[in-house]
Amino acid sequence: MSKTLLREFFELCPEGSCAVDVLTENEKRRLQDGAVFLVGVCQKAGTKNGNGRIYKKETLQREVENYQKAISERRSLGELDHPDDSVVNLKNCSHLITKMWWDGDSVMGKIEVLDTPSGQVLKELVKSNIKLGISSRGLGSVKQQDGNTIVEDDFQLICFDMVSDPSTPGAYLTPQQDIHISAPRATFNISESSSKKSTKSEKINNALDEILRKL
């Protein structure tokens, strides 16, 4: 079976329920200079997402472990919005995954927002309390089993992008503005392009236009 581009949206840490005190002392000091960090759920195992797919934990465990090398080498970049591409475009990068770990069946992530053009837009969205999302991008195939769509073991994680439309319940990205996390939320994604970009996307576009006018 041929591989296709898989993307899933996740909402991060509803109502601030995620463990958020994960910043290093250096990162806490950098907050005073305007640095922005986000923490939250990036993916879940064994749970049907909004796109109707289920990821086996052993598959995600393997890919998260493989992704640790990219994190340690600071190559774990992501883009603002989800391109229909298996290549991470450096000119569109907005953030860097700096840590990834498991909390039960949830894949948690810590994200550093970069001072790139796309990163500046992302920072302004976070400061404006815009609901955002983090979304995984990967290649893989799926199969039908007991009425469910199961992502096969050939799945390969590419990156995590910042998006506007969540499709998976129970996960919110939250920005760390102090030692504690504040209200803004975000999401995560891995499957085919979402077609649900109506009213919410229009609001995001309007906010982006306003931010770009201020830059």
pTM of the complete model: 0.75
**Residue 174 pLDDT greater than 80, yes or no:** no
What is the domain partition of the chain in residue ranges? 4-214
The pair of structure tokens assigned to 91 is 């000119």
- pLDDT (0 to 100) of residue 184: 34
Is 78:132 a contact under the CB 8 Å cutoff?
no
Backbone φ and ψ of 104, nearest 5°: 70, -120
The pair of structure tokens assigned to 100 is 């990834």
More confident residue, 17 or 175: 175
- pLDDT (0 to 100) of residue 170: 45
Question: Which range, 62-71, 85-94, 126-135, is most confident?
Answer: 62-71
- pLDDT (0 to 100) of residue 179: 34
The pair of structure tokens assigned to 53 is 């797919």
- pLDDT (0 to 100) of residue 40: 84
At 54-85, the pLDDT tens digits run 999 999 999 999 999 999 999 999 999 877 88
The enclosing H or E element of 70 equals helix 57-72
CA distance 78 to 97: 8
Task: Give the residue from 1, 27, 213, 15 showing the smallest Cα distance to 113.
Answer: 27
